[in-house]
Amino acid sequence: MNKPGSPILKYWQIPPLFKRGGISPFIGLLLLTFGLLSGCTLSGCGDQASGPDGAGNQQAVANNIYDEAWNMINQEYVDGSFNGQDWGEWRNRFRGVIKDPDDAYVAIGTMVASLNDEYTRFLRPRDMSEQTMSIDSKLYGVGIQISMRDNKLMVLATIEDTPAEKAGLMPKDVITHIDGHETAGMSVEDAADKIRGEKDTFVTLTVKRGKQEFEKRIQRGEIKLKSVFTKPLDDKRIGYIRLSSFISETMLNELDDIMRKMQDKQALIIDLRGNYGGLFSNAVEIADKFLDHGDIVSIVNREKDRRVYEAHTGMDYQKPLVVLIDGGSASASEILSGALKDNHRATLIGSQSFGKGLVQKINTLSNGSGLNITISKYLTPNGTDINKKGIEPNIKVSYTEEDFRAHRDPQLERAVKYLESQYLASK
């Protein structure tokens, strides 16, 4: 979730498309909380009433689900104008029309679509279950994240060492067909359903990249998610840490373990390319490891209340730092890179980040379905709203398809040269 043409094509803001236990097909959420499921399985939840009054009970349950969704959005959605409409009109718009849960799902989807917010989404029970279990489940699929932009199904990122990466899919690739089915007008959810499948089965994606159009026949497989990893560089004085996502609850422990092993390094490169985001708390706590003062991020809700997260005194790592970003660096990645850039703690190298400056909360409805609701926006320490704009690197370095094919990484090479010339004594 890297840049258009980055070497480390990775794992939300759009989650990977897996057969079981994967993140549901919604663009990488900057997660504040996770909903809890009760009595639901991967095949759905028990929302079909039975018995003599089954039909009546089913209708009551379905209408209750709709009311819950309306209330959650009414109370928590970041835009108090609800995209310039009278939200109260939606309260009873489908009264008498909703007969069963499927009707409720369609009605909620229609209501949510009126907000014109790609990050506020309704999740059916299956999708909610997959999203909740994504943190610690075994995952299968091709290993890409997708989003719908300008009515085009676009690859946001690929996960490292997955079928999608090995097939050469890249961020900003447009998927025009899935097994021959046109994606124009298709929802992200429907696209995800078509791309998913059993392990070792195949899916054929028709991809448009610039003026080129080609097909990729990809064999689905197990997706092994990694949060933190490292590799040796030619210059042994410089440590390299790749953060592939912020979704794991064990990420901080993983990072601490690697940092302890790099105490002898004179400088450090943190690679956020293709990192679509994840847990808000991870982004803040990691930023705090590299800062001893200053703001990390500000969260602004619809009442314009502003909560500022500040760095604590003292930092775990005080040596020179470079951060690599690209078009796949989104959400929590942008919180971290924005904090380090605005506080002049790190030099950012690469290309412009994705531009997701909104925060979602995951809410569970009574039957196991759910809502991802945009509840606030965030600002970098300088007060910059980066939503749909992204963060500009201090040093721009492109990464082309030719570089990818030739196994070159000009952005990483530039980071090493920068640290050598600015901070490290010549060899």
Q: What is the mean pLDDT of residues 52-59?
A: 70
- Report, as residue numbers or ranges, the catalytic residues: 331, 342, 356
Dihedral Cα 110, 196, 9, 383, nearest 10 deg: 20
pLDDT at 198: 85
pLDDT at 218: 97
Sequence-ordered list of residues with C-beta below 8 angstroms from that of 32, at least 6 positions apart, any chain: 280, 359, 360, 361, 362, 375
Question: How many percent of the chain have pLDDT more than 70?
Answer: 84
Euclidean distance between CA atoms 160 and 164, whole angstroms: 9
Q: Please tell me the pTM assigned to this model.
A: 0.70
Does residue 399 sit within a domain? yes
As for how many domains the chain has, the answer is 1
DSSP assignments along 14-50, one per residue: --EEESSSPPPSS----BS-----SSEETTEE-----
Does residue 276 sit within a domain? yes
Q: Is the pLDDT of residue 40 over 50?
A: no
Does residue 393 sit within a domain? yes
Does residue 104 sit within a domain? no
pLDDT at 30: 35
pLDDT at 54: 57
Q: How many C-beta atoms surround the C-beta of residue 426 within 10 A?
A: 5
Nearest to 40 by CA among 141, 99, 127: 127
* CA of residue 355 relative to chain centroid, distance: 11
Question: How many percent of the chain have pLDDT more than 90?
Answer: 65
pLDDT in tens, 293-340: 999 999 999 999 999 999 987 777 889 999 999 999 999 999 999 999
Does residue 160 sit within a domain? no
CATH number for position 405: 3.90.226.10
Does residue 8 sit within a domain? no
pLDDT in tens, 144-158: 888 888 889 999 888
Q: What is the mean pLDDT of residues 271-298?
A: 93
pLDDT at 127: 82
Domain encompassing residue 265: 228-357+377-422
